[in-house]
Structure 1
Amino acid sequence: MARIDYFFSTLSPWTYLAGTRAEEIAARHGAEIRYHPLDLMALFDRTGGTRPAERHPNRMVYRGQELARWSRLLGMAINVAPRHWPTNPAPSSYAIIAAQAARDKGATGDLGGLCHAILRATWAEEKDIAEDDVIRAALEANGFDGGLVSSGLFIGAETYARNLDLAVERGVFGSPFYILAETDERFWGQDRLALLDAALAGAAA
């Protein structure tokens, strides 16, 4: 079975715009997705990126226009300047990590749906994803135990730190970032999902 290593930030608008297309692609090709939420600002610091707050205004104006264009093209609502951004991404990331660990042990639940619900909360629903109630609602809406908000803190914190190191080792520098584990072929951005789809189709041919 092919495996997609998916590195992302729960604060990234581009990851929000990816929606659940990666999951649809994986299902089409019988591939597995392993989710690796990480600290994107720390990743920028370690790989030569520039934090949004430090970018030139020209770049930020263009970013806003691109987000609006892509949201229209994809039919996805977006507020390019959400009320609760930036916020602390760690609690939502810990919950995703804990949910994946629970599913590995036999729990049911939709990990792709959980990730998208958390991203949608920021970029379309004006919610603060650092709040337990917001995370709990996303967990429960996608078939997971809402108690993972608190019970998953230890494994979440430990894995979240490792994910950043792993990302740097694997060549990741942005979000969303997809890597085909078998070939180390890398895809950066929601606009590269069609290329990921094609690569998986070629591997299966």
Structure 2
Amino acid sequence: MNGLTFWFDVHSPWVYLASFRIGDVARKHKLSLRWRPLHLPRLLDDIGGVKPLEATPARVAWFRQDIADWAELQNVPLRIHPNYPLRNSRALRACLLAEDEGRAEAFVRRLLRGYWAEGADITDLDLLAGWGEEAGLDGGAVKAAAVSDEFKLRLEQNTAEAIVRGVFGVPTVDTGAKLYFGNDRLDLLDIHISQGKIPLHETG
């Protein structure tokens, strides 16, 4: 089945906004959708990428203004976590489990809401388990995945694969032929699919 791959890390508020939209885009065009977490700080270190909050003060101020404007436009609650950035590894490993179980969209969106609207501690295993149960997962399995060496290795492999694919930031949607970076490129992705401009390949 033709499909899309959604590369993400919970650290990004743009991922939070895109999480409300990407599933609808895939369903509209009857495409499968893979939610593939990567470790964004490691990816940026490996490729020498730009870290938005380490940019110039003017750019950081614009960044905060822009994300607030987009959240208002999408009517999505947004509150920068007082301790941002939190450690992301446990949450990302749990996201891998959610994808395995076909519950990624529900779990990732709940997790992101906790991080980007509720000021929740995404390193807390009990919170992750509770969010997992809300999404239809087994809470104990979520806890185990969050501290699992196996899932740690899979996250590293995802990050390495994303770099090979040309991913330089998140959110990125990979069609198999083209990459669309950013929440604001989802409209362009939708248009291009509708117009048949993207040769969709099997994603894997």
Instruction: Give the alignment's TM-score, normalised by structure 1.
Output: 0.89
Distance 1:132 1:62, change over 3 A: same
Which among 120, 130, 147 is matched to residue 140 of structure 2? 147
Q: What is the one-letter code of the residue matched to 1:22? A: I
Distance 1:28 1:69 in 2: 26
* Unaligned residue ranges in structure 2 (runs of 5+): 199-204
Distance 2:127 2:2 in 1: 33
Give the alignment of 1:106-117 within 5 angstroms: 110-117=103-110
Which among 188, 193, 202 is matched to residue 186 of structure 2? 193
**Corresponding residue for residue 41 of structure 2:** 41
Q: 1:142-200: CA deviations, max 9, x gaps? A: 1111122233223321110001100100000011000102xx11100011111121232
TM superposition shift of 1:35: 1.7
Q: What is the one-letter code of the residue matched to 1:128? A: D
Give the alignment of 1:46-65 within 5 angstroms: 46-65=46-65
Q: 1:67-96: CA deviations, max 9, x gaps? A: 1111111101111x3123111111111011
Percent identical residues: 30
- 1:162 partnered with 2:162: no
State whether residues 84 and 128 of structure 1, in contact with CA within 8 Å, keep that contact through their aligned partners in structure 2: no
Distance 1:23 1:53 in 2: 28
State whether residues 8 and 38 of structure 1, in contact with CA within 8 Å, keep that contact through their aligned partners in structure 2: yes
- 1:9 partnered with 2:2: no
SS of the residue 1:198 aligns to: helix
Distance 2:19 2:28 in 1: 16
Q: What is the one-letter code of the residue matched to 1:8? A: F
SS of the residue 1:49 aligns to: coil
Q: What is the one-letter code of the residue matched to 1:66? A: D
Distance 2:32 2:196 in 1: 14
**Corresponding residue for residue 179 of structure 1:** 174
State whether residues 52 and 63 of structure 2, in contact with CA within 8 Å, keep that contact through their aligned partners in structure 1: no
Q: 1:16-48: CA deviations, max 9, x gaps? A: 111321111111111111121111111112223
State whether residues 126 and 143 of structure 2, in contact with CA within 8 Å, keep that contact through their aligned partners in structure 1: no
State whether residues 99 and 148 of structure 1, in contact with CA within 8 Å, keep that contact through their aligned partners in structure 2: no
Distance 1:67 1:137 in 2: 28
**Corresponding residue for residue 106 of structure 1:** none
State whether residues 84 and 122 of structure 1, in contact with CA within 8 Å, keep that contact through their aligned partners in structure 2: no
Distance 2:132 2:83 in 1: 19
TM superposition shift of 1:100: 1.7
Q: What is the one-letter code of the residue matched to 1:118? A: L
Instruction: Give the alignment's TM-score, normalised by structure 2.
Output: 0.89
SS of the residue 2:26 aligns to: helix
Distance 2:2 2:53 in 1: 37
Distance 1:40 1:198 in 2: 28
